[in-house]
Amino acid sequence: MLRAVAGQGAGRVLGVNLRLRRDELGISLSELARRSGIAKGTLSQLESGAGNPTIETVFSLSNALGVPVSALLSEPPASDLVVVRSADTDVLSGDAVDLRMLRRLESPGSLFEIYDQRIHAGKVQHSAGHPGTEHHVILTGRLLITARDQTQELGPGDYLAFRANGPHEYAALTDEVKSVLLLEYPPDVHPAGLDSLHTG
């Protein structure tokens, strides 16, 4: 016996996500019907939020659209415009580094976390390593980063990326350094969060 995925809420969310993904791919309902093996009339009902999809239907659509099931059943952003106010985010402070998480983004191949990072003047931050790749863009100040047995001095506008699974450290050479830190995780890694980032 086939079971429905959920009630009206899931059907509405599925409908919105189906339409968004189909528009992104530039394919018609007829083409989606061909790819998924689901009747065009059923797809039309699903997109309008009127259908009551089964798990098998959702998996077929997931395969046909090339997205994980969660992408079809998760609420889409409320707006195409996302604003994160400084006053609305918490700061994780350490002796040498302050971090504010700005955004967490998931894509089929990776998970990304974007941070506003401040490295205190004259301080050194050590990390024993963690999963993923760190991407740094320096906004102000001069930063010395040692990673992968190499040391690089960076200034405003400079970019550096490295696999962060080994020991690494940051040192603000003069004034406080302001930077954007993007952490990129492979799809099979579930990061522990801020507390594992810069601890030694």
pLDDT at 113: 84
What are the sequence ranges of the domains in the chain? 8-73, 86-196
178/199 Cα distance (integer angstroms): 19
pLDDT averages per 10-residue partition of the chain, 200 residues: 43 84 91 94 90 74 76 67 80 81 78 90 88 94 95 97 94 93 76 44
- Which CATH number, 2.30.30.100, 1.10.260.40, 3.40.50.300, 1.10.150.130, labels domain 8-73? 1.10.260.40
Return the SS3 of 186: coil
pLDDT digits over 123-145, tens only?
A: 998 888 888 899 999 999 999 99
pLDDT digits over 131-181, tens only?
A: 889 999 999 999 999 999 999 999 999 999 999 999 999 999 989 999 999
Q: Which of 138, 131, 146 is CA-nearest to residue 197? A: 131
pLDDT at 85: 85
Check if the beta carbon of residue 64 is closer than 8 Å to that of residue 57.
Answer: no
Topology of 86-196 in CATH? Jelly Rolls (2.60.120)
156/110 Cα distance (integer angstroms): 27
Check if the beta carbon of residue 46 is closer than 8 Å to that of residue 18.
Answer: yes
Q: Would the pTM count as exceeding 0.95?
A: no
pLDDT at 76: 55
